[in-house]
Structure 1
Amino acid sequence: MADKKNVKQAAKKAKSQEEKKKESILDYIKPTFKIENIVASASLDVELDLYAIAQEVRDVEYEPEQFPGAILKLKDPRASLLLFKNGKIICTGCKSEAEVEYSINRAVKLLAPHARKPRA
């Protein structure tokens, strides 16, 4: 019986020491991070003519047999916007909310001539 008790005590002590070791490691670790990429979505509440956009707006790729949306690539800020017929936009590549807002507003100006109110 004494051996079982000693084994349990030793196991308990080892577990306690391991927990203390983990706690001390957590006190030491101070992560640093940097925002590299924000993904944001927006809805314009209009229908977009993706064919016309691809023909008339620079830096837009549209291959409907490969992907249902058009891709608008902005150079400054460096961002890619996925454009869908239903007026939804997915914006990727921005590093701040301000860049997201600027990119989407810039896209709206480019897309407005090719937008129409959705059918009821």
Structure 2
Amino acid sequence: MFHDQSPIYQQIAEGIKNDIISGALKEEEQVMSTNQYAAFYRINPATAAKGFQLLTDEGILYKKRGIGMFVSPNARETLLEQRRERFFEEVVDRMLTEANQIGIPLEDIASRIQSRRGDRS
């Protein structure tokens, strides 16, 4: 499950975010405890806790005292909006900058996108 490209606690947070986006975890649903998570993935509980803390700081998870961690209301929509913004910044904006530098007209880009979307319909 884990790779060497980013810290494990960030991968934990990203995995939980992906589960929320996919619907595997629903809003107001309880998530595994940090100790359960650590035991399941055979990692240090402090590492799991750090990943959960990231999500809590972002408002994606919240803690019910004495009960555990839960998915926040509107977490999925918040994450989708973040991913959409990241897509535009990392993909579309970079693509448009490159297209401008090499002289590709916006109409050609729009046409190509439209034709590719048609291939997948």
TM band (smaller chain):
under 0.3
TM-score (norm 1): 0.23
Higher normalized helix content (fraction of residues): 2
**Bigger RCO of structures 1 and 2 (CA < 8 A, at least 6 apart):** 1
Higher normalized strand content (fraction of residues): 1
